[in-house]
Amino acid sequence: MINWGIIGLGNIANSFAEAIREINDCQLKGIASLNKSKLSIFGEKYNIDKKYRFNSYDELINSDQIDAIYIATLNNTHKDLIIKSIDAKKNILCEKPITINDQEIKDVYKKIKDSKIFFLEAIAYRSHPISKAIFEILSNNNFGKIEKITTSFGFDTKRIKPESRLYNKMLGGGAILDVGCYPLSILNLVKKSRNENTKIIFSDVKGNICKTGVDDYSFAKLKLSNDSYAEIEVAIRKKLENSLYIKTTYGELKIPDLWLPNKKVYIDVKLKDHFYKQFITCDYTVYAQQINFFNFMIKNNEKTTDLPYLSPEDSKEIAELSLEWRKRLY
């Protein structure tokens, strides 16, 4: 039985706790929050023993009853918590983005690389079978070269909320850092499917900085190789399509609502004059599937992931691209 601990008890932590209930070989053993009220409410809701309700992050990290830690705190706290968890020899699932500046990326990546723990960034769809399907389709040379990728992730908070971490630059707020990792992670996956080591380069960046000093919308055009490019959009005050479109020499792929796929999803595929839907099924909801994959890796003492699963190297590239995008806009 794998014992999980959660650090940070916001909305996403509730989704994670619900997902753990789907998996048979693990349990939510401990929780940590600096807010005693949240700690009590969350603990009662998920039946956590009171001695494993920690009012200190360090206590949970250093508990010998915890095998894996889900870091769901504010973005600006991730680096220190990752390093402390590695020092405590805990396996880590960390919410995106893993860090919020260039030096933190270097520090965290080196620490992960030098460790023996399993680390995964929580971009959940990359653990869902739909990512494997995309990878396999694009690895098929019958589709020819990638010509264009169009993708987006945007939701509408309705109004600017200065008290929200989304609108606080010091907390790593803004659309690019909050959801930019999703479209960038698709570019990373596409590049790997073509076995290309080319550098992804920004050619154009536009957007809007709202009154709190964070980006609430941004568009970017990127060059993937000599013959292919991508157009991506992110927003926190505008609902976008949240879909993926890929055009190749001989075909097309279209996927609606990619980022939180259901148990049964499909890809619209065109190959020359042939049109079809490729259906993909998953035994679990998307967050539970991510936990299931994570558990498999640590039970088998594996540290290195195979494509399409995210590796620390992939997360490093995505984080570096996110920060470059942000710098170009600001």
Query: Are residues 25 and 10 part of one domain?
Result: yes
Q: Is residue 292 assigned to a domain?
A: no
Q: Please provide the DSSP assignment of 3-50 as one string.
A: EEEEE--SHHHHHHHHHHTT-TTEEEEEEE-S-HHHHHHHHHHTT--G
> Which of these three, 57, 91, 124, is where a domain ends?
124
Specify whether 212 is located in the same domain as 183. yes
Distance of alpha carbon 162 from alpha carbon 257, whole angstroms? 28
Nearest Cα to Cα of residue 191 among 311, 319, 308:
308
Same domain, 75 and 182: no
Inside any domain, residue 60: yes
Confidence of residue 196 (pLDDT cuts 50, 70, 90): confident
Instruction: Report the pLDDT value the prediction gives residue 227, as an integer from 0 to 100.
Output: 83
Q: pTM of this prediction? A: 0.96
Same domain, 278 and 222: yes
For residues 324 and 204, give the distance between their C-alpha atoms in angstroms, rounded to a whole number. 12
Q: Are 183 and 232 contacting, i.e. CB atoms less than 8 angstroms apart?
A: yes
Q: Are 319 and 112 in contact (CB under 8 A)?
A: no
The domain total for the chain is 2
Q: What is the CATH number of the domain that holds 19?
A: 3.40.50.720
Q: Residue 161's pLDDT is what?
A: 82
Specify the CATH number for the domain of residue 167. Answer: 3.30.360.10
Mark whether 33 and 133 lie in a shared domain.
no
Q: What pLDDT does residue 194 have?
A: 84
Q: Give the distance, in angstroms, between the CA of residue 149 and the centroid of all CA atoms in the same chain.
A: 19
Sheet holding 91-94, edge to edge: 53-54, 26-32, 2-7, 68-71, 91-94, 119-121
Structural domain containing residue 62: 2-124
Strand partners, 270: 252, 275
119 pLDDT band (50/70/90 cuts)?
A: very high
Instruction: Tell me if 236 sits within 8 A of 174, measured CB to CB.
Output: yes
User: What does the CA dihedral 118, 119, 125, 127 come to, rounded to 10 degrees?
Assistant: -10
One domain, residues 187 and 146: yes
Residues 301-314: tens digit of each pLDDT: 999 999 899 999 99
Last residue of a domain, one of 124, 153, 178: 124
Q: Are 107 and 133 in a shared domain? A: no
Query: Last residue of a domain, which of 99, 124, 149?
Result: 124
List of residues 6+ apart from 40 with CB closer than 8 A: 53
Q: Which residues contact 21 (CB under 8 A, 6 or more apart)?
A: none
Asked whether 78 and 98 are in contact (CB, 8 A), the reply is: yes
* DSSP assignment of 133-172: HHHHHHH-GGG--EEEEEEEEE-B-SS--TTSGGG-GGGT
Q: pLDDT tens across 256-301, in order?
A: 999 999 999 999 999 999 999 999 999 999 999 999 999 999 999 9
Nearest C-alpha neighbor of 311 from the set 140, 143, 178, 118: 118
Q: Pick the more confident residue, 162 or 298.
A: 298
Q: Are 148 and 82 part of one and the same domain?
A: no
Mean pLDDT across 184-188: 97
199 DSSP 8-state letter: P
User: Would residue 297 count as lying in a domain?
Assistant: no
Q: What is the pLDDT of residues 319-328, one digit of tens each?
A: 999 999 999 9
Assess if residue 80 is contained within a domain: yes
Per the domain annotation, does 294 fall within a domain?
Answer: no
Residues 70 and 160 in one domain: no
Asked whether residue 82 falls in the same domain as residue 118, the answer is yes
- Whole-angstrom Cα distance, residue 196 to residue 89? 34
Query: What does the mean pLDDT of the chain come to?
Result: 96
Q: What is d(CA 152, CA 33) in angstroms, rounded to the nearest whole number? A: 33
Residue 69 class from Cβ within 10 Å (0-12 exposed, 13-18 middle, 19+ buried)?
Answer: buried
